[in-house]
Amino acid sequence: MANLHWLANPGRFLRISNAVVPYLAGLTVVLLAYGLWRGLTAPHDATQGAPATIMYMHVPSAIMSMTVYGGMAVASAVALIWKHPLADIAAKSSALIGAGFTATCLISGSMWGRPTWGTYWAWDARLTSELVLFFVYLGYIAIWQAIEDPQRAGRAAAILALAGSVNLPIIHYSVEWWNTLHQPAGLLQGKTDPVLAVPLLTLLAAFFCFYVTVLLLRMEREIVGRKIRQLRLLQAQA
């Protein structure tokens, strides 16, 4: 764990973070602009027509909703086992980003479903398990809000995050294990023509860079927030 302890020093973390963030932010903007331009000017899907354009928002949102959760669960495990303060902060700072992507995944999916399937919503395994993911994020955020002491809140939230991670394989494999209205994943199986896959993957990269950028900023805010808390406690005691 030598590497993790090396990063545990918040001063060092903030120095690295502050140095990296401007470049990551720039990369996010460039990838986002390029992906949107290529995606919106690409020819429409032959079967579905214009509504398939929604996939450029839906697919990256969906993948990120699960990626962010995965990161949050790993950070929670590190926080629980090694009591690593930065891991705790990383997990907490991820939640709102992930919850947001889950929401945009559900909304964009709904807007895609109506013109193609003929319904905004269906209780199939994929849609339902993604909705469960959203509620797990909300529960995680609620724990941090409800418990005053960061140590106790962190432990309770980490246990919830780990327990909720059983949902990740369910979401991913739902379309293979059960009959669903939702189609299986085809992006990485080469079932998407490059003309459509290139903007889609570009936007996925853009969403990922966005996530890392915002995560670093939110972690810094959390570190500052904890220092404020600590100083106030010190002043109260003085």
Partner 1 sequence: MTRKRQRMIFVLSGLGALGLATGLTLFALRDNLVFFYSPTQVVLREMPVENRNFRIGGLVEAGSLERVGADTIRFAVTDTANAVRVTYTGLVPNLFKEGQGVVAEGRLGTDGVFVASSILAKHDETYMPKEVMDALKAQGNWKGGD
Partner 2 sequence: MAEFFAMDGYAFYIWPTYIVTLGFMIWLVVSTLRGLAADRKVLAELEKNAPHRARRRGETASSSPSLRGAETSDA
Binding residues (CB under 8 A) for partner 1: these are 42-48, 52, 55, 77, 80-82, 115-119, 122-125, 162-163, 165-166, 170, 177-181, 183-187, 189, 191-193, 195-197
Q: Which does 80 bind (CB under 5 to 8 A by kind): partner 1, partner 2, none?
A: partner 1
Q: Which of residues 35-64 bind partner 2 (CB under 8 A)?
A: 40, 44, 49-51, 53-54, 57-58, 61
Distance of CA 55 to the CA centre of its chain: 17
Is residue 126 near partner 2 by the rule CB under 8 A?
Answer: no
Q: Which does 210 bind (CB under 5 to 8 A by kind): partner 2, partner 1, none?
A: partner 2
Answer yes or no: are the C-beta atoms of 75 and 87 closer than 8 Å: yes
- Bridge partners (DSSP) of residue 49 are 45
Is residue 131 near partner 2 by the rule CB under 8 A?
Answer: no
> 164: helix, coil or strand?
helix
Query: In angstroms, what is the minimal distance from the CB of 59 to partner 1?
Result: 10
Answer yes or no: are the C-beta atoms of 174 and 75 closer than 8 Å: no
Q: Angle 55-82/125-146 helices, nearest 10 degrees?
A: 50
Q: How far are the Cα atoms of 15, 129, 214 from residue 233, in angstroms, in the given order? A: 26, 42, 28
Question: For the chain, how far is it from start to end, CA to CA, in angstroms?
Answer: 37
Q: What's the CA gap between 85 and 10, in Å, rounded?
A: 9
Q: Which does 50 bind (CB under 5 to 8 A by kind): partner 1, partner 2, none?
A: partner 2
Nearest to 115 by CA among 175, 62, 54, 182: 54
Answer yes or no: are the C-beta atoms of 165 and 80 closer than 8 Å: no
With respect to partner 2, which residue has the nearer C-beta, 70 or 225? 225
Q: Which does 141 bind (CB under 5 to 8 A by kind): partner 2, partner 1, none?
A: none
Q: Which does 47 bind (CB under 5 to 8 A by kind): partner 2, partner 1, none?
A: partner 1
Is residue 108 near partner 2 by the rule CB under 8 A?
Answer: yes
Residue pointed to by tokens 């005053």: 148
Q: Which residues contact 201 (CB under 8 A, 6 or more apart)?
A: 187
Is residue 234 near partner 2 by the rule CB under 8 A?
Answer: yes
Query: In angstroms, what is the minimal distance from the CB of 181 to partner 1?
Result: 5
Taking CB under 8 A as the rule, which mask of x and - marks residues 164-203 in contact with partner 2?
----------------------------------------
The two structure tokens encoding residue 113: 């479903």
Give 76's Cβ-side CA count (13 Å radius).
25
Q: Give me the residues that bind partner 2 (CB under 8 A), please.
A: 10-11, 14-15, 40, 44, 49-51, 53-54, 57-58, 61, 85-86, 89, 96-97, 100, 103-104, 107-108, 111-112, 114-115, 149-151, 210, 213-214, 217-218, 220-221, 223-235, 237-238
